[in-house]
Structure 1
Amino acid sequence: MTHAACTALTCTREKNVRTSTEPGLVPFITQRKGEDAAPDNLIVYRHPSGARLYYADEDPRDRPIRGILWARCGFNPVDDRHMPTGQPQWKLMHPYRQMVTMTKLHCQVCSGPARTPLGFIFLTGPKDHDLTSPTIVTNQPPVCVKHARAAAALCPHLAKNPMVFLARSAPLYGVHGVVYGPDTRHGTRVVARPDSPLPFGHPNMPTVLASQLVRRLSSFRTVDMGELLRELSPTA
């Protein structure tokens, strides 16, 4: 998945590991047709401490993480498995469902707990990260053992050859979003679309409309998909 405008994780059979051909398999975080962005009713207030972005009709649910304003998006009805319904929009992640799964470290495919005895499984594109970089961050929620191979097969960005990170620790890092500012007619305008995530505490955070929560991987190692499934086969 790309980091800034991010696609959803639309994401040889292994025992109890689901395949990409399982009927109706659509990742929980995938945005569905009809789950549209809310009307743009953003305003910027200037406080003694600086500018701050608000919704004109804001309520506390609009700031679910560390007081940061979150992008609003509609919700379709759920089915009898409590999964969203509607035609999948494969290139989009639902901003709230992405945030919830990333906060809880739940699987982005089934929304169940993703912890394994070896840590959390994070998948990224084969060329997404320079492993010599001191900081590895991801906007992709983890996957559970059952859905690791299916996620890799379904996501075009992963090219069926994902880089697999097994992380013992993945602390929250920041957000992807759009930076707003006031315009000349007392409205708002986009002033920046950062390619990289903004860390918590960044000076632009008060005027960001966030759409993805980002974690930093630490205490991790990289493996290939076959090695991952072999190591975890007793738990699969």
Structure 2
Amino acid sequence: MRTATGPSLIPFITQRQGEDAAPDNLLIFPHASGPRLYYGDEDPRDRPLRGVLWARCGFNPLDGRQMPTGAPHWKLMHPYRQMITMQSLHCQVCAKPARTPLGFIFLAGPKDQDPTRPTICTNQPPVCAKHARAAAALCPHLEENPMVFLARSAPLYGVHGTIYGLNARNEVHAVAQPDEPLPFGHPNLPTLLGSQLIRRLSSFRVLDLEELLQELELAA
């Protein structure tokens, strides 16, 4: 930890040293709806949400607080922990429910989003009231000055990841990594290897961090 928030505080979603990406072991086979991406040794845990194949990554042991161990890779989110916190709307720092009396808190870098847009897509799981300030300090991308989206509505939208196909030798290879997430129902999802679950914020207010903390204090 490089900040005053404490050396032991590392967000739950942060990938750790030793949690390496697993070998792809990917195959493409025909399916009733068209080509579909598979793992050669696939099991149900590989498709945790709406049939999308998810990127495999190692898991380090948990400590006494049920938090991952190992030195952090600060710029990386563990693909499975990102998915489960985003799916359950749990805090990306402590993995506990993130709902506050004011709604859900989503953070973005100060230049990441256009706050005038009617909807915002985000790959950042929410944060709870207790860890809003800590999350801003811990993530270099947020520059300790995040844009705060206080959302009443944040439905699941889609998946960010890598699209695979077959080359001339009939070998599986990556063919595209779209800048934008694919919405659920997109025709390319069957051959996508997902790495981040995306929610769409459609009913929100934009605040700065200090405004958020003041409102949370009044609502407590």
TM-score bin, normalised by smaller chain: over 0.9
Counterparts of residues 84-99 of structure 1 (less than 5 Å): 84-99=68-83
Q: Tell me the number of residue pairs that the alignment of Structure 1 and Structure 2 aligns.
A: 219
Conserved in 1, the CA contact under 8 Å of 2:52 and 2:194?
yes
Conserved in 1, the CA contact under 8 Å of 2:10 and 2:72?
yes
Conserved in 2, the CA contact under 8 Å of 1:20 and 1:151?
no
Report deviation, 1:34.
Answer: 0.4
Once superposed, what is the RMSD of the aligned Cα atoms? Answer: 1.4
CA deviations on 1:91-138 (whole Å, 9 max, x unpaired) are 110000000000110000000110001000000011111123343100
Report deviation, 1:202.
Answer: 0.9
CA deviations on 1:67-92 (whole Å, 9 max, x unpaired) are 00000001000000000000101111
Report deviation, 1:182.
Answer: 1.1
| Mean CA deviation greater in 138-147 or 38-47 | 38-47
Consecutive unaligned residues of structure 2, counting only runs of 5 or more, are none
Paired-residue identity, %? 74
Structure 1 residue 139 and structure 2 residue 108: aligned?
no
Q: Which residue of 1 aligns with 2:106?
A: 122
Of residues 158, 167, 175 in structure 1, which corresponds to 2:142?
Answer: 158
Report deviation, 1:186.
Answer: 2.7
Q: Which residue of 2 aligns with 1:203?
A: 187
SS of 1:116's equivalent in the other structure is coil
Q: Which residue of 1 aligns with 2:196?
A: 212
Report deviation, 1:48.
Answer: 4.8
Structure 1 residue 45 and structure 2 residue 29: aligned?
yes
Conserved in 1, the CA contact under 8 Å of 2:118 and 2:202?
no
Normalised TM-score (structure 1):
0.89
Look up the equivalent residue of 2:65 and give its one-letter code: R
SS of 2:61's equivalent in the other structure is coil
Q: Which residue of 2 aligns with 1:54?
A: 38
Report deviation, 1:235.
Answer: 5.8
Report deviation, 1:38.
Answer: 0.8
Of residues 70, 86, 90 in structure 2, which corresponds to 1:102?
Answer: 86
Normalised TM-score (structure 2):
0.96
Q: Pick closer, same or farther for the CA change 1:153–1:61 going to 2, 3 Å.
A: same
Report deviation, 1:23.
Answer: 2.5
State how far apart, in whole Å, the 1-side matches of 2:134 and 2:33 are.
48
Q: Which residue of 2 aligns with 1:7?
A: none
State how far apart, in whole Å, the 2-side matches of 1:187 and 1:179 are.
14
Conserved in 1, the CA contact under 8 Å of 2:102 and 2:219?
no
Conserved in 2, the CA contact under 8 Å of 1:20 and 1:154?
no
State how far apart, in whole Å, the 2-side matches of 1:203 and 1:34 are.
35
CA deviations on 1:21-59 (whole Å, 9 max, x unpaired) are 313110000000000111120001123531110001101
Report deviation, 1:185.
Answer: 2.5
